[in-house]
A and B are shown apart, each in its own frame.
Chain A
């Protein structure tokens, strides 16, 4: 009897000691970080992952940029998230677009910091120093880009050069704007120096040194803008010369050129043409784009016999281009007809002439979030016109140089030349040229027009539901959730509640 018992006992011990090992489960359907970064391919995938948050950029550009600016006077069918963004109300601290913008850029930074740390500690497995440098430069470009986006939207933000735990973050406050700029400049300078001049084949779309230079130039230009008395992106730093120098390198260097036809710049079949310095890449079924559908009213899709899943989910809301802008397209043409107007705006949709720039019904993907079209972040014309902006701020060059740039743009648009371009006329030209590209609000802020132009437009268009624009609204509020999570760590931007 006892022998039997012992036998049983030992069998059980044997069985269950093997069970102990069974407690160490590793995921079967996803990778664990512990067994990642073992070869070049792992690192490549991690770098690709760091790019993925770029997909959130077009939404920020449209809902927080175009929507905020005098390009759109939206009409709401009720109580929509973007109402307060469009109308300049102070209680937008919980608006999804704003909190998502904060989150997705910080998530992008987190992904970058993870890769950078791994490159430092395990980068040796790649076995090629140049590749390590390229990956590092791509990551730092992305971090600089994400931070610049945060800075323009929110002003002061915490600086994170490495991954920090949630507990550690509880004692990291928002840094002064100047420090954030310094951090961004360091990243973009490194990227400009270490990224390849171009990529080909299946790498087209990665950040190049020109992309880094162009964004860095925009950083200097933005930083040189007025401060409005708020802790926003303008620091009056007068770095126009630095910006101009960087823009010159792009203007004179290959492979960029001034696009011959306006519409072909945005063609579904002409992506990454010579105008494109940097864009966010999309492809149907793989990484489809939602932005072409964003600003088109739902009724437009149903009127085309297309499923309302192609719409933006905002019911009967409409997003018409403003009366002032329509006038601007049709009035100051100097004799010609502005080809950009019918291309950018659904002029025949009279109820609500919305921005249709990216809509090609023959190219629609499987849903409204599956368009195979890239979103251009920086293009050659933009660089040229920013060069003109630098010139007008006294950073070398002549009035004739500035006029030439603007008239080159006007000529392509099919309208007559103008002389003695001023910052005002330059910005007005930019508004027509870059409609739907998410630049207008930043342009207004950068050149000190955010309050004057917006308020003048409200009066001119007879808009009452949009509140007077005051200096505090140059930047957005810190999302309420961030303030609640660690009370007292961040203070809210003035003017918001």
Chain B
């Protein structure tokens, strides 16, 4: 503990700002009195009683370990009386009042106010985690933050308790430089994606490794569609979290070498501390709604557009046809039977009638979104004796989703208990059972309900309303018969995921000799997930006919069970020694064994259900082939065996050196290349400890860091190195067919597969000024992922089109800045701030010996591949035809202007990039990159007397999204489907605006596969959270209540983005390449993020 400021006998209470500092970004920070250490000289208070009712107060101040805290300042509120505690932590002062409030402050500890009631005071101060000397958890141990040599971002859990969040990842949004938390969906209960320092891997995943209380859970794996199912953070109660550290560079992460290439997120849960039991209770409740809606044409706008289109098509379809002809006249001209409707040429006459009788105009988004309530209760108890400490908590969360029928419930318990069996032997157990139910009706993705709400014509028959097309109703005539009510679908569909999880760690720590201890842990994580799925034929296209005769026949159902068991045993030896006062050595060496077993069962209907009442498979009926249900079960294992060690050396606490080495063997690789070695070295120089800086009081800490290290990635399938066979059946037998079980090789096995490795260089600087009032951290890094586990295209003559190989490299270079300041600190008012910004440049540097581009086509947009892997460009750059305005009459007349067949005036003009006079695949240009160039976060916290206010803002810039959703609902109009709002402002003959965002309605040419119209900037700025709290402590005179706070919070209430082609610029819900070798997560209809207003209380007893 380094103490740089301390109140002596004089009043130097930090009530008045004494110096000012100008920082360009933030404006003027008011910095209060900063004192150089004058040494600790506790003195008895000599002041004679100056006041009539003066009383002498005695007491004692201790730290969190109940050890005396000398030098703490004790002040009488609203007075200038100040004393310091002596070497035993004792103090004595004379107060002007007989029942004053005393304020206890000590640098690095939280300020505490205590009312004096006549009894001698015994005050315990708790460490203030924002102080520099907080201890951070690094791999296999803890370190003082000032000694850390790697790039480590920390996050204090205090911020969690005060906010209504439901997942751990949410707490990290915008908090740490270089840690990008992506909110891919607004569905409740969904995991978030975290990316540390850019995407380094092309096909082997970019999610970090999660380590919970020393237990490396697993790398979250993101599916090609973008969702994360079975996240290691599922079911965890954010309120149990004490701290989160993200190890960003290899020097910090290399001790987890094997799977640290994408960063390591270390989560520590709360521990018990000896002392009186403390019980805390948190409750919050709120209401959520969608933060934004997609801009599509309103019913009135659509009716106007459809009328315009139908009349224009009619007039253009033959001579003598005029817009004023009625439907009957048009039918007669077309020689259609009377009453027949041709939706291309005819409109619904009711559109033009006052109040559109018989028709309801609907907003499909309003129909499926709702205001949703949530409530969250959490209770915990902590305490213990000298030998047994405990932390026990329970939580209950019931969160309705903003999508109808969606809901997430979580029941969690945690018990962290630690016992000292003897002076040398310590045992502990962490036990966290949990159970969650997530009702998430299928809504996101291609052709799913959230796409339908944008496509559906916003007009329905009043007689059926929102149930158009469902429950046997026919669809509205001017609506595609393939689009039936998404509302009815969501009302009837079931997708219920029930997860039981048991997380257990048992450990023993034995001190063999002084300085040498052995810790052995056994960890077990078991997650059982049961999924019930059901779609009703009441809301199935084409089921109307059979609904009357065989309701249930076209309903489908499935029941899926998955089990994942993760077992880990770790044994580490820990040695620390100080030699000759100046040489501090600490070393660890360990060995670990990990096995992950997964198994699954899937049962589904083959012939539908007997009726629409019972929705379990017991009600399934046989298909024409006599099969009632089909099912399968699978199992797989992977193992990891590792040795690791770390040596840290500090000379005079000034020069720091650290080296780690880890060797891992993974069963996922062939025996020859199974072992990977991941070394790292780092060095640090605490410049502030040098004599020439020691006296510069402004600088409380200055450290320079440099590190290099390697870490690995094995996030591929369990058996990719082994040639396996799959069933590829055939039938023989003619009229009486029999399955001919067939076995074929499933893919090109690569026995030489090895670890994908990332090598990171990191240069860092940590600077603290004015007694840690300003903490600044800077890092520059160069991270190169090489030997990428890449699905390299191979000649199909090999039997397959890709082969998983260790080829290629991606470099991420970046700069990270973070700043923590206490801008104002007075007795009544405190303003602190956390700002961070991270720049990252992603470049593919090597694509194998041929250096050939890899073009990734999409199954959903024809042949011209819109995604490109090319050396020198960011991974998955967009490769598209550029829209370049609108064709004018002059353009049409000019043969030099490249056009597509059938293009006329008012159609989009495309850039003829190669100037050959034609628009072809060769005219594709680079149209953007998926990853942002920089991300930033800015959090301000204000405290005024009993009020506190926190405002969290974050954003990103420089990336873009190629939206397949935008593409699907962005076309030149239809009389049977709705389109994006951008079509409000299209080119018309009456107003031939060459700068209109879209061309004329009813275009008849075939557009190039993917154009720049569907690339949208993903820049956004979001006020993620505003929380206003009030300390209620004063209202409760009873000492039983130690703390009480009430708060109101607005989550994600204000945001701005430029994504017009979807509801969420970070949306990921569909593999838009449609190719499993190169999964590209994109948006094909997503749930908007929610905004939540909530109110909560915290009580401590």
Give me the interface of A with B, judged by CB distance under 8 Å: 1, 4-5, 8, 12, 15-16, 19-20, 22-34, 36, 42, 45-52, 54-55, 76, 78-81, 83, 91-96, 99, 102-103, 106-107, 109-111, 114, 157-158, 160, 163-166, 169-170, 172, 199, 201-206, 269-272, 281-287, 298, 301-302, 304-310, 363-366, 372, 374, 479, 481-482, 484-487, 489, 497
With both chains docked as a complex, state the minimum distance between the C-beta of A375 and any C-beta of chain B, in angstroms.
12
Residue B873 lies at the interface, judged by CB distance under 8 Å to chain A: no
A372 neighbours in B (Cβ, 8 Å): 624-625, 737
Complex CA–CA separation, A96 to B865 (angstroms): 12
CB of B745 within 8 A of CB of A283, answer no
B744 lies within 8 A of A50 (CB): yes
- C-alpha gap A12/B853 in the complex (Å): 50
Beyond A29-B636, A272-B735, is A54–B730 a contact (Cβ under 8 Å)? yes
Q: Is B338 located at the chain interface by the 8 A CB criterion? A: no
**Which chain B residues lie closer than 8 Å to A33 at the CB level?**
723-725, 745, 749
Whether B724 lies near A282 (C-beta < 8 A) is no
Does B862 lie at the interface of the complex (its beta carbon under 8 Å from any beta carbon of A)?
Answer: yes
B742 touches A366 (CB 8 A): no
A169 to B792, CA, bound (A): 14
**Range, interface on chain B:** 35 or more
- In the assembled complex, which residues on chain A have CB atoms less than 8 Å from the CB atom of B857? 94
Task: Point out the residue from B724, B743, B798 that lies within 8 Å of A166, measured CB to CB.
Answer: B798
CB–CB B543/A52 < 8 A: no
Contact B797 A22 (CB under 8 A): no
Q: Which 6 A-B pairs have the closest CB atoms?
A: A110-B799, A305-B545, A283-B737, A94-B863, A49-B742, A272-B734
B799–A202 CB distance below 8 A: no
Which residues on the A side are within 8 Å of B920 (C-beta)? 91, 497
B732 x A286 contact (CB < 8 A): no
Determine whether B989 belongs to the interface, using a CB cutoff of 8 Å to chain A. no
In the assembled complex, 26 residue pairs joining A and B whose CB atoms fall closer than 8 Å, in A order, are A23-B667, A25-B639, A30-B726, A31-B724, A33-B723, A33-B745, A52-B728, A76-B1006, A81-B862, A92-B863, A94-B857, A106-B797, A164-B797, A166-B798, A204-B732, A205-B733, A270-B735, A271-B734, A281-B732, A286-B739, A287-B729, A287-B731, A305-B542, A309-B541, A482-B795, A484-B852
Kindly provide the distance from the CB of B203 to the nearest chain A CB, expressed in whole angstroms. Answer: 16
Report which of B546, B624, B743, B1009 forms a contact with A45, defined as CB distance below 8 A: B743
Given A79-B1007, A111-B744, A482-B795: A202 touches B852 (CB 8 Å cut-off): no
CB-defined contacts of A28 to chain B, threshold 8 Å: 634-637
**In the complex, which residues of chain A have a beta carbon less than 8 angstroms from the beta carbon of B726?**
30
Please state if A486 and B667 are interface contacts (CB–CB under 8 Å).
no
A1 touches B641 (CB 8 A): no
Tell me the complex Cα distance, A255–B715, Å.
56
Is B518 an interface position by the 8 A CB rule?
Answer: yes
CB neighbours of B749 from chain A (8 A): 33
> Could you tell me the distance between the alpha carbons of A283 and B725 in the complex, rounded to whole angstroms?
23
- Given A34-B723, A52-B744, verify A485-B794 contact (CB < 8 Å): yes
Q: Is A170 touching B733 in the complex (CB atoms < 8 A)?
A: no
Known: A91-B921, A285-B627, A286-B731. A111 touches B745 (CB 8 A): yes
Check: B821 CB closer than 8 A to any chain A CB: no
Closest to B669 in A: A23
In Å, the complex CA distance between A310 and B744 comes to 29
Assess the A166–B723 pair: CB atoms within 8 A: no
CB under 8 Å from chain A, chain B span 36-78: none
For residue B775, CB closer than 8 A to chain A, the reply is no
Task: Give the complex CA separation of A6 and B546 in angstroms.
Answer: 76
Complex contact A287–B730 (CB within 8 A): yes
Q: Which residues of B contact A1 (CB under 8 A)?
A: 512-513
Q: Please give, as numbers and ranges, the residues of chain A lying within 8 Å of B748 by CB-CB distance.
A: 166
Which A residue's beta carbon lies closest to that of B976?
A316
Bound form: Cα–Cα A309–B665 in Å: 47
Residue among B633, B665, B742 facing the most chain A CB atoms (10 A cut-off): B742
Contact A23 B863 (CB under 8 A): no
Q: Is the CB of B921 within 8 A of A366?
A: no
Residue of A34, A49, A201, A364 with most partner-chain B CB within 10 A: A49
Q: Which B residues, 628 to 654, have Cβ-Cβ distances below 8 Å to chain A?
A: 630, 633-639, 641
Interface residues of chain B, those whose CB is within 8 Å of chain A, are: 481-482, 512-513, 518, 540-546, 554, 569, 571, 591, 593, 595, 606-607, 623-625, 627, 630, 633-639, 641, 665-667, 671, 674, 718-719, 722-726, 728-746, 748-749, 793-801, 803, 850, 852-855, 857, 859, 862-865, 920-921, 1006-1007, 1009
Residue from B641, B731, B799 within 8 A of A107 (CB atoms):
B799
Residues in chain A near residue B544, CB distance under 8 A: 305
What residues of A have a CB within 8 angstroms of the CB of B801 in the complex?
Answer: 103, 481
B674 contacts across to A, CB distance below 8 A: 23
Cα A359 to Cα B637 in complex, Å, equals: 45
Nearest residue in A to B636 (C-beta to C-beta)? A28
Query: How far is B1063's CA from A328's CA once the two chains are assembled, in angstroms?
Result: 54
Query: A485 — nearest CB in chain B belongs to which residue?
Result: B793
Interchain CB contact (< 8 A) of A281 among B593, B731, B744, B1009: B731
A29–B717 Cα distance when bound, in Å, is 13
Closest approach, in angstroms, between the C-beta of B465 and any C-beta of chain A?
A: 22
> Are the CB atoms of A307 and B542 closer together than 8 Å?
yes
User: Is the CB–CB distance between A110 and B798 below 8 Å?
Assistant: yes
* Contact in complex: B623, A284 (CB < 8 Å): yes
Query: With contacts A23-B639, A271-B734 known, what are 18 further pairs, Cβ within 8 A?
Result: A23-B671, A26-B722, A29-B635, A42-B743, A49-B728, A49-B742, A55-B730, A96-B859, A96-B863, A99-B796, A102-B796, A107-B796, A281-B730, A286-B737, A304-B545, A310-B542, A486-B850, A487-B852
Residues of B within 8 A of A157 (CB): 797
Contacts of A107 in B (CB 8 A): 796, 799-800
Asked, given contacts A94-B865, A283-B731, whether A25 binds B718 with beta carbons under 8 Å apart, the answer is yes
Chain A: CB-nearest residue to B643 = A16
Q: Are B741 and A45 in contact (CB under 8 A)?
A: yes
Of the candidates B625, B633, B635, B742, the one whose C-beta lies within 8 Å of that of A283 is B625
**Complex CA distance for A270 and B723, rounded to whole angstroms:** 41
When the two chains form their complex, are residues B518 and A8 in contact, meaning their CB atoms are under 8 A apart?
yes
Q: Which residue of B lies closest to A303 (CB)?
A: B481
Is A106 in contact with B733, judged by CB distance below 8 angstroms? no
Q: Shortest beta-carbon distance, A321 to chain B, in Å?
A: 23
**B738 cross-chain contacts in A, Cβ below 8 A:** 202, 286
**Inter-subunit contact B543/A307 (CB<8 Å):** yes
Complex CA gap A46/B68 in Å reads 78
Residues on the B chain within 8 Å of A301, using CB: 542
**Contact status B793-A52, CB under 8 Å:** no
**Which residue in B543, B737, B742, B798 is a CB contact (below 8 Å) of A48?**
B742
Nearest-CB residue, chain B, relative to A283: B737
A12-B733 contact in complex given A1-B512, A45-B743, A164-B798, C-beta closer than 8 Å? no
Nearest A residue (CB) for B724: A30
Q: In the bound complex, what is the Cα–Cα distance between A374 and B94 (angstroms)?
A: 102
| A304 CA to B854 CA, complexed, in Å | 44
Q: Are B740 and A160 in touch, CB under 8 angstroms? A: no
Cβ contacts under 8 Å, B859 to chain A: 96
Closest B residue, CB atoms, query A45: B743
In the complex, the chain A residue whose C-beta lies closest to that of B722 is A32
Shortest distance from the beta carbon of B744 to any chain A beta carbon, whole Å: 4
Cross-chain contact B796 with A103 (CB below 8 angstroms): yes
| B546 in contact with A25 (CB, 8 Å) | no
Within the complex, what minimum Cβ distance (angstroms) separates B671 from chain A? 7
Given known pairs A285-B606, A485-B794, the reply for A271 and B725 (CB within 8 Å) is no
Q: B625 — which chain A residues lie within 8 A by C-beta?
A: 283-286, 365, 372
Q: How far is the CB of B752 from chain A (nearest CB, A)?
A: 11
Q: Are B734 and A374 in contact (CB under 8 A)?
A: yes
The answer to whether A45 touches B742 (Cβ under 8 A) is: yes
How far is A479 from B724 in the complex, measured between Cα atoms in Å? Answer: 28
Across-interface contacts of B736 in A (CB, < 8 A): 202
- How far does the Cβ of A369 sit from chain B's closest Cβ, in whole Å? 13
Q: Are the C-beta atoms of A365 and B743 separated by less than 8 Å?
A: no
Closest-CB distance, B433 to chain A (whole angstroms): 27
Please tell me which one of the listed residues B554, B638, B794, B852 contacts residue A25 in the complex, with CB atoms under 8 A apart. Answer: B638
Q: How far is the CA of A25 from the CA of B714 in the complex (A)?
A: 15
